[in-house]
Chain A
Amino acid sequence: MTRARKASVYVALVLLAAVSVVPFLWMLATSVKHGQDIYNKVPTLLPLDKKTGEWAATLGNYEYVLGVGGLGSAFVNSVWVCAVLVPAKLLIDALAAYAFARIPFPGRDKLFVIMLGGMMVPAITLLVPRIHVTQSLGMFDSGWGLIVPNIASVLDIFLLRQFFLSLPAELEEAALIDGAGRMRIFWRVVLPLSKPVLAVVTITSFLFHWNDLVWPLLVTNDPELYTLPLALQQLVASPDGGRAYYIMAGATLAVLPVIAVLLVFQRRILQGIAFTGLKG
């Protein structure tokens, strides 16, 4: 490639990356500005005083949204939901995937196909009656309602099963002949060999549930139960919705943990997407 072409490729990449990233920088900048300083006809990425042009950053917006805005308790709720849901779901999915991959029992493969078929129904079709089921089980507007109706994922079972099938069966057979039980093999042989796929499933599942707005929106009424995305949406819908400095502080709180996860696990996440072609 000629030097000029190479340079133009980089210029294009820098421009596209700017389009991608500047909204986040703008969000961050707005979130630490004083109210009067954001209404400025001259855009500035730095928190400067509108009149004097001096440095004028504040954390007051965060204080407000975490307290009065209700995002503090919502943050804690989101952490709780993810801390319970993500491991529980991983365990349930991995157990089922292992059985579907390795333990022969009558009707197993037919059942698996039926479950896969269920994956093709659009989520929205299930939403209304799923809320109804949650209500009938007495879990509506409760912490359980945020967790139990999401406690397994057919897609994750499929991914885990495909990976388990790719492991050499000889290892497990040797253990079986040595008299190890199925569960022992699962814990001691299969899971340690499956760290890459377990990581991908855990990370995508965390991202999905941390970001999920729709299910908490439908299943909760009590503001005490709001998760972070829902609390943020409620803040947008409140009279504070016009106060961009508050809203951007709230958005930053929702985005930062996810960016941290992306920075730490970027290789696994990107590989996972290329591998599955799907998110969440």
Chain B
Amino acid sequence: MTAPVLERVAAGPGRRARRRPGPRRRDHLTGWLLIAPALAYFLVFLLYPALSALYYSFTDWNLRAEANWVGLANYADLLFDDVKYPHFWKSVSVTLQYTLIAVPLTLVSALVQALLLNAVRRGANLFRLLLFLPVVTAEAAVGAIWRWLYDPQYGLINTLLGLVGIPGQNWLNTPELVIPALAFIAAWQCGISMIIYLAGLKGVPATIQEAAVIDGAGPWQRFWRVTFPMLRPTTFYLLVTGVIAALQVFGLVYVIFSGNGRSVTGGPEQSGLTYVLHLYLFAFRYDAMGAACAMSFILLVFIMIVTALQFRFVRQEAA
């Protein structure tokens, strides 16, 4: 699906340069020498790990013994054996719920911020900077900050809720609240999507907006009939990349549920046990590397299917 596009990108304007006369032989050598370090990295730390992950997913690889070929057993056990892997489907459901809440919330909040920023001149740069701040923050720090903000007794969130008369919640210790609490952090960090929306908004021609004004369209109509349709490629791009990222959420959950032995289960009643946290635990805590590799390929296939469906949906919409 993507290969022809990449080929075209790769060919690009470079093709013309190829016919340029020059010291050919020496060029070949120079070329290979220049890419040698990057190529070595690619082979050792990308291609080989990818292929060996596929191989190991068919074995019972762990750190104690030689890996034995077990065929599809890892895949079958993960999907169907809920004695051996009791939390597999739980982690799938947690991750899907998180994705379904976090991605739309992030996109809406990014779009609202971008529209507001686009409507002002004075102070726009300052606001943009402030709204962007959460994205450049390390996830370890984000996790630490939000653990404190969500603190049931002295956290700022419950304190502020208390001021307006809403009873405080034990956000990170109540199974039903864990995913919304995590999704809110994701939306808080929507700065990258906001910047991309902003770039998209700059691409909406002013003449079209003016024409709509002349035709008597109000701001609400202009948004739904002009701006939003023109932002569709941007929204689609953010949706696809957002879903791919949300399905792999890990570092933040790891920090949020650090300590008190909770990291082993991923929150109260596994309510924060995301797929990749589960995978991590199998690889590095329970020493089941083979199963972890199988899990990573199940995720890879799932990501490919979801992405393909999204592309298909868009094409149908466009037709």
- Inter-chain residue pair count (beta carbon < 8 A): 299
Q: Are A125 and B50 in contact, CB atoms less than 8 angstroms apart? A: yes
Q: Is A81 an interface residue (CB 8 A)?
A: no
Q: Is A128 an interface residue (CB 8 A)?
A: yes
- One digit per residue, 1 when the CB lies within 8 angstroms of any chain A CB and 0 when it does not, for chain B 24-52 equals 00011011101101110110111111101
Q: Is B299 an interface residue (CB 8 A)?
A: yes
* Cα A165 to Cα B10 with chains together (Å): 11
Q: Please name all residues of chain A whose beta carbon is closer than 8 Å to the beta carbon of B41 when the two chains form the complex.
A: 92, 151-152
* Cα A136 to Cα B129 with chains together (Å): 44
The B-contacting residues of A in range 35-74, CB under 8 angstroms, are: 38-43
- One digit per residue, 1 when the CB lies within 8 angstroms of any chain B CB and 0 when it does not, for chain A 166-200 equals 00010001001000001100000000000000000
Q: Is A82 an interface residue (CB 8 A)?
A: no
Q: Is A163 an interface residue (CB 8 A)?
A: no
The A-contacting residues of B in range 144-191, CB under 8 angstroms, are: 144-149, 151, 153-154, 156, 159-160, 162, 188
Q: Are B113 and A16 in contact, CB atoms less than 8 angstroms apart? A: yes
Q: Are A255 and B137 in contact, CB atoms less than 8 angstroms apart? A: yes
Q: Is B300 an interface residue (CB 8 A)?
A: yes
Q: Is B222 an interface residue (CB 8 A)?
A: no
Q: Please name all residues of chain A whose beta carbon is closer than 8 Å to the beta carbon of B119 when the two chains form the complex.
A: 1, 6, 9
Most chain A CB neighbours (cut-off 10 Å) among B11, B27, B46, B299 = B46
Q: Please name all residues of chain B whose beta carbon is closer than 8 Å to the beta carbon of A230 when the two chains form the complex.
A: 140
Q: Are B17 and A96 in contact, CB atoms less than 8 angstroms apart? A: no
The A-contacting residues of B in range 75-119, CB under 8 angstroms, are: 112-113, 116-117, 119
Q: Is B318 an interface residue (CB 8 A)?
A: no
Q: Is B255 an interface residue (CB 8 A)?
A: yes
* Cα A26 to Cα B160 with chains together (Å): 13
* Cα A109 to Cα B3 with chains together (Å): 12
Cβ 8 A contact of A211, one of B10, B138, B154, B254: B138
Q: Are A16 and B116 in contact, CB atoms less than 8 angstroms apart? A: yes
* Cα A151 to Cα B31 with chains together (Å): 19
* Cα A258 to Cα B139 with chains together (Å): 12
Q: Is A154 an interface residue (CB 8 A)?
A: yes
The B-contacting residues of A in range 116-145, CB under 8 angstroms, are: 116-118, 120-130, 132-133, 137
Q: Is B296 an interface residue (CB 8 A)?
A: yes
* Cα A47 to Cα B250 with chains together (Å): 34
Given A24-B133, A207-B136: A104 and B18 within 8 A (CB)?
yes
Q: Are B31 and A108 in contact, CB atoms less than 8 angstroms apart? A: yes
Q: Are A214 and B141 in contact, CB atoms less than 8 angstroms apart? A: no
Q: Are A254 and B31 in contact, CB atoms less than 8 angstroms apart? A: no
* Cα A185 to Cα B217 with chains together (Å): 56
* Cα A173 to Cα B19 with chains together (Å): 12
* Cα A261 to Cα B162 with chains together (Å): 37
Tell me, rounded to whole Å, the shortest Cβ–Cβ distance linking A259 to chain B: 7
* Cα A156 to Cα B268 with chains together (Å): 40
Q: Is A262 an interface residue (CB 8 A)?
A: yes
Cβ 8 A contact of A21, one of B7, B44, B130: B130
Q: Please name all residues of chain B whose beta carbon is closer than 8 Å to the beta carbon of A132 when the two chains form the complex.
A: 49, 52, 289
Q: Is A79 an interface residue (CB 8 A)?
A: no
* Cα A212 to Cα B254 with chains together (Å): 13
Q: Are B141 and A229 in contact, CB atoms less than 8 angstroms apart? A: yes
Q: Are B17 and A169 in contact, CB atoms less than 8 angstroms apart? A: yes
Q: Please name all residues of chain A whose beta carbon is closer than 8 Å to the beta carbon of B117 when the two chains form the complex.
A: 13
Tell me, rounded to whole Å, the shortest Cβ–Cβ distance linking B34 to chain A: 4
Tell me, rounded to whole Å, the shortest Cβ–Cβ distance linking A124 to chain B: 5
Query: Which partner residue on chain B sits nearest A78 by CB separation?
Result: B138
Q: Are B154 and A99 in contact, CB atoms less than 8 angstroms apart? A: no
Q: Please name all residues of chain A whose beta carbon is closer than 8 Å to the beta carbon of B297 when the two chains form the complex.
A: 125
Q: Are A130 and B49 in contact, CB atoms less than 8 angstroms apart? A: yes
Q: Are A112 and B10 in contact, CB atoms less than 8 angstroms apart? A: yes
Q: Please name all residues of chain A whose beta carbon is closer than 8 Å to the beta carbon of B132 when the two chains form the complex.
A: 262, 266, 270
Most chain B CB neighbours (cut-off 10 Å) among A41, A210, A270 = A270
* Cα A109 to Cα B49 with chains together (Å): 23
- Which stretch of B194-202, B204-212, B309-317 is in the interface? B194-202
Tell me, rounded to whole Å, the shortest Cβ–Cβ distance linking B241 to chain A: 8
Q: Is A101 an interface residue (CB 8 A)?
A: yes
Cβ 8 A contact of A99, one of B35, B42, B151, B188: B35
* Cα A179 to Cα B191 with chains together (Å): 48
Tell me, rounded to whole Å, the shortest Cβ–Cβ distance linking A5 to chain B: 8
Tell me, rounded to whole Å, the shortest Cβ–Cβ distance linking A198 to chain B: 16
Q: Are B279 and A124 in contact, CB atoms less than 8 angstroms apart? A: yes
Q: Please name all residues of chain B whose beta carbon is closer than 8 Å to the beta carbon of A169 when the two chains form the complex.
A: 16-17, 20
Given A20-B188, A95-B35, A254-B138: A273 and B144 within 8 A (CB)?
no
Q: Are A279 and B135 in contact, CB atoms less than 8 angstroms apart? A: yes
Q: Please name all residues of chain A whose beta carbon is closer than 8 Å to the beta carbon of B136 when the two chains form the complex.
A: 207, 211, 258-259, 261-262, 269
Further 19 A-B residue pairs, CB within 8 A, beyond A22-B156, A129-B293: A23-B145, A26-B145, A26-B156, A41-B159, A96-B39, A103-B30, A106-B28, A109-B10, A109-B14, A113-B7, A115-B38, A125-B297, A128-B289, A154-B46, A212-B138, A228-B138, A233-B140, A244-B154, A247-B148
Chosen A-B contacts, 5 in total, with CB atoms closer than 8 Å, are: A39-B154, A93-B38, A128-B53, A128-B56, A277-B196
User: 8 tightest A-B contacts by CB?
Assistant: A96-B38, A211-B138, A105-B31, A229-B140, A99-B34, A129-B49, A274-B199, A152-B41
